[in-house]
A and B are shown apart, each in its own frame.
Chain A
């Protein structure tokens, strides 16, 4: 949530309350730390490495390093890479793994759409959160833990068409694994997707499969999301396109915020908005 921060200052979404989390958003986008800032912050962190020595009441959570926090406590150590003389001035030090993010986003979208009881992000907890936030009254849970379907939940019939489309897909040799094998028509499930399958799904299949099964406004947003990944994974990128892509992605995320409950926005979904920026570097 809260991707409106990244929008331009005068964007109309920033002032809208009901569509988003019930308040306006006036903050600026968070500024990124400059390199020497990081270096300074990290300087003070002293870490002793190793698993903690055995203590009597060592709980599992308390695992980790014995950090004497001096700088901001976001840092858990002074990375060993700072020993390299040129590391401080490098523009980009740690890259994000696109495939990994793509897989997580794909999982999020797919399971939420199919309303998988375990993996769906649109569950009773999500609805409770909505109630706490006091938004989207029509989606709140009833007393017995039941709730109304949302715009994006697939009805039985539609779900069948959706899965059937994926099931019938035939791929050229060596392009991807046999995705139709991962689809269980009987129970309406998708299982055993590898990260490359997710990549292909996001890139090519999902926009086609959801075309006629969802209301238009949902389809548009998801297709946009898929488009983003497709562009980003192209063989050649241009600087201008990436600028556009980044701002477009932030808008897409805002649209997603309007549709999906807040639990949908795990850190992986958030990372998508940094991907284009990072690809630029």
Chain B
């Protein structure tokens, strides 16, 4: 029986209440101590054959009959008014099939897509669709726009002075921070500056729209097929059941691809006008001007503590540069929730600037905030003269500090133990050296959500070939969630993950699933998948029980066989499914809500070891020890890869990545990958990755999310390691050779 229930979900720090449809779930958890088969064993990716032979069709590979190519005219100015544009001249170029300018395109989530007064360099002004890329660019050249440049604000300090907010400032108080600071034994003040980090997914944002009289199909590189569907439905007034969004293979998103994007709206409008399919693929430079960035922030602290390092009060403010979009990401969440501290006063100021819109970037807010706060805590540890890990232990929160809610599980203290042991933390002072190369070791803690939750649905069917087919309303942005889902099905049905076919990435398939974000995907979908698999298992065992004249309770599915639990009966599963002919045994499942009144979080600790060349200023990250407490690990192979990937994005943030804006023109000077430096293979540190690995006892399957956690502590740990190496604290990332040499004097 399905029923509607009201549930609370925490999505990247924002709590939402929503009604969701839930089916009754009789799937039993494993008995305590009984380890499931398959789950927890390394599984290679199901997508390997397609991705490694070039047959995987990404959105930018889609080519429909009659497809046109689109291109976009963008403002070269940080702020300008378009005084004239020659749309008709563009329409007269041979091969051009549609040209649109300001006012010709529906809004996207209430925002203008084609601007008459473009508010940042890169903002779209007009778009064309033509038979070839060459004709599209010739049409852009014919548009002959005339601009009236206007005043702009890109600098964060100027943005603060302007007092123009992109999102509402937040003000959070608990206890009495003023009074506690006045009486604190130790008071520390410091400010950290976090850079704007650009996503640079290898696959640019792209869309192929096919407008037909009976509905729209949008092929989209998206982390959220259902969100994309509703955005197209709203923008164009087409019933959502007549909008189909497809994303079979996706080349990364990291938070920048929630929904259909402006490219989806533009491609759809051009397709509607041209009556032809239209493809729009952003260039790397368009990508880095328009699709988002990790919010740059200036984070200031005034920390009051007892002489033993226990936090008594924190006053903190975060000035964030959101450009022209995004929301007030929870930069100060680590201050609020990572440690026990009774007196807080926290303010975030999300400023508007004449820059592209900010977008979520893997642990938005929390990563930047952790970078700042975990270094401030190391400064406190130095001031009171205690070991940095010991300081963190002394401030451990036994319940959620903001709400007082108990955790479903928390193994942060164990994470410290394991990490310290693996890193050789005790001997860290002996590393430092006196010569040209100085070494250091630093740690940082990790806090994030990642509970997952409803709504998430799955369907499993099995036919005569005994190869299960799983259908889920997901997209796989590259994390490996599809493979993890196959592992969960394989466990219930006693087959290998490679035997499972997963159908996903298409809103016309059965089964609405979560977006790929917030470290929620697997934790949301896996229980539904397991439940669907369990229903199929139950039916198969009943069929086998009839065939072999034995009670279904005495049968199990193992290694492709139906076996009696006493071992006397063994038949290939094919013998049972072979009787099905062309029929299927089918089962469905849905995700139940999380327990009420509890905090569901993930935790962890990373320890970085760096070598700093005091002559060149170059920082090399030699090793990262990463220990994360994210519940049960479904596929350790994919999980390790996720951790290394997160760490590398943290290394980039700490050492080399920074969007640079020319203050005289307000334009981004390093929008290409030659100047914007993401880590390469040569920058890969040794990674020691461990999971606490204990299933969360309050969650179905015990699974929590892993996407965000590994990126969160890396940069802070690196900063602390540099300070340990040099005895000098750098407070503005990235820690480039120039900044290191300046700090050394």
The answer to whether A binds B is no
Identify the B interface with A (CB < 8 A). none
